[in-house]
């Protein structure tokens, strides 16, 4: 049979084909469109015909294949729409409801903090979780003998090519370094993310946790600017306006401080979470060390700034009365369902 005759026969077969069941539609698909079907055979033989026949039948052959595919799709859609119910099916049985999801408690806290700082001009910055020594330690003024560089505190990853080891970031301060290296002041960012520490997993600590850090770099930024920003945050997030700043030490800020919020001592829970002092430790903060600015290519004589950072797990545990930090990471649906109404 000539190639033209085969094309004509195929055309008539496709146009007259009908399917009343899903099985008939599938048989048609396999016969004509399957890996060993009629079209496959025709396309193989098509390579052997003359150039004039290729011009004559090539377009027709493609149109016929498209028409066959359309017929199969149309049949399947119609058969699914008019599918008869199973004779044994219980039509009075209630349907299966899709349960609504819920936000994770960490996401609830993170999104609320982002909204608070977004209202005063901060934008969100992100960075890699696997960092090099420069962005995680050296650029942040960590001395070579600092305990954080020890394998007992940090997860190191060996470079398969024999180069310098990488680390799982121990803080999101590395995002601040990357931002200062790529952006010119003024800079106003917050950096939420997951961080890692080589710690024993218990009810109060974990090797994985979440931080959110902030950075503000501009001309004439002072400690008073930082205090005012943190007072605004404490009022918006905790509903408490009384804070205190205690002297502390961080390698990348000078001076450094710990910020506490006055929680009060109205009940037994207040005594427990504040250890009887009435003050709740919230975050670390301080003025960015000039050495950090210089290492990131920013003139410390012209610009200054402040940075702050806090853990999200502590805030989530305090707000939602979560007794064990491990519950946050277990993805137990019985635990997560409790936060459906918090969205």
Cα separation of the two ends of the chain: 69
Specify if 285 maps to a domain: no
* Angstrom distance (rounded) from CA 212 to CA 337: 25
Residue 22 pLDDT level (bands cut at 50, 70, 90): confident
Residue 24 sits in the same domain as residue 111? no
Distance CA(185)–CA(26), nearest Å, equals 65
Query: Looking at the predicted structure, is the pLDDT value of residue 47 above 80?
Result: no
Q: Are residues 68 and 32 in the same domain?
A: yes
Mean pLDDT of 291-309: 94
Identify whether residues 224 and 138 lie together within a single domain: yes
pLDDT at 130 over 70: yes
| pLDDT band for position 83 (cuts 50, 70, 90) | low
Q: Is the domain of 141 the same as that of 176?
A: yes
Higher pLDDT, 63 or 107: 107
Q: Is residue 99 part of a domain?
A: no
If 0-12 CB within 10 Å is exposed, 13-18 middle and 19+ buried, where does residue 129 land?
A: middle
**Does residue 253 form part of some domain?**
no
- Looking at the structure, tell me whether residues 115 and 50 fall in a common domain: no
What is the structure's pLDDT at 96? 78
**Are 45 and 183 contained in the same domain?**
no
> Per-residue pLDDT for 163 more than 60?
yes
The total domain count for the chain is 2
Domain contains 32: yes
CATH number of the domain that 112 lies in?
A: 3.30.930.10
Instruction: Give 142-189 as a DSSP string.
Output: --TT-GGGSTTTS-EE--TTS-PPEEE-SSTHHHHHHHHHHSPSPEEE
Q: Same domain for 137 and 228? A: yes
Is residue 273 in a domain? no
- What token pair was written down for 12? 């008539």
Which residues make Cβ contacts (< 8 Å) with residue 331, sequence separation at least 6? none
**Position 62 in a domain:** yes
> Mean pLDDT for the chain?
86
The reply to whether 60 and 135 lie within a common domain is no
**C-alpha distance from residue 325 to each of 18, 216, 284 (Å):** 63, 31, 21
Q: Of 80, 96, 124, at which residue does a domain stop?
A: 80
Residue 80 has pLDDT above 90, yes or no: no
Token representation of residue 152:
């007992």
Determine the Cα–Cα distance for residues 55 and 68; give it in Å rounded to an integer: 21
Higher pLDDT, 103 or 227: 227
pTM of the model: 0.68
Taking the C-alpha atoms of residue 304 and residue 289, their distance in angstroms, rounded to an integer, is 9
Structural domain boundaries enclosing 70: 3-80
CB burial of residue 52 (10 Å; 0-12, 13-18, 19+): exposed
Q: Look at residue 157 and tell me if it is in a domain.
A: yes
Q: Check pLDDT > 60 for residue 151.
A: no
Give residue-wise pLDDT tens across range 195-249: 998 888 888 888 999 999 999 999 999 999 999 999 999 999 999 889 999 999 9
Q: Are residues 216 and 132 in the same domain?
A: yes
Nearest 10 degrees: CA dihedral of 197, 199, 205, 210?
Answer: 10
């Amino acid at each position: 049979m000539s190639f033209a005759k085969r094309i004509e026969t195929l055309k008539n077969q496709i146009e007259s084909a009908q399917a009343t069941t899903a099985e008939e539609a599938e048989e048609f698909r396999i016969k004509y469109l399957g890996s060993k079907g009629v079209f496959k055979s025709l396309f193989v033989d098509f390579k052997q015909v003359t150039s004039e026949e290729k011009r004559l039948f090539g377009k027709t052959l493609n149109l016929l294949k498209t028409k066959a595919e359309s017929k199969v799709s149309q049949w399947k859609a119609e058969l699914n729409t008019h599918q008869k119910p199973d004779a044994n099916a219980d039509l009075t049985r209630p349907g299966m409801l899709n349960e609504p999801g819920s936000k994770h408690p960490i996401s609830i806290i993170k999104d609320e903090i982002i909204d608070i700082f977004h209202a005063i001009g901060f934008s969100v910055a992100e960075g890699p979780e696997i960092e090099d020594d420069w962005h995680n330690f050296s650029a942040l003024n960590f001395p070579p003998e600092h305990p954080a560089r020890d394998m007992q505190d940090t997860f190191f990853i060996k470079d398969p090519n024999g180069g310098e080891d990488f680390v799982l970031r121990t803080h999101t301060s590395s995002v601040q370094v990357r931002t200062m290296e790529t952006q010119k002041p003024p800079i106003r960012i917050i950096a939420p993310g997951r961080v890692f520490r080589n710690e024993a997993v218990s009810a109060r600590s974990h090797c994985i946790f979440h931080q959110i850090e902030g950075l503000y770099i501009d001309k004439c930024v002072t400690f008073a600017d930082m205090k005012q920003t943190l007072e605004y945050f404490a009022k918006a997030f905790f509903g408490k306006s009384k804070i205190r700043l205690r002297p502390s030490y961080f390698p990348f800020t000078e001076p450094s401080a710990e910020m506490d919020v006055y929680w009060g001592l109205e009940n037994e829970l207040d005594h427990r979470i504040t250890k009887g002092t009435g003050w709740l430790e919230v975050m670390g903060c301080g003025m960015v060390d000039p050495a950090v600015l210089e290492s990131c290519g920013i003139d410390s004589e012209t610009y200054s700034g402040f940075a702050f950072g806090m853990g999200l797990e502590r805030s989530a545990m305090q707000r939602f009365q979560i007794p064990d930090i491990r519950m946050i990471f277990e993805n137990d649906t019985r635990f997560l369902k409790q936060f459906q109404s918090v969205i």
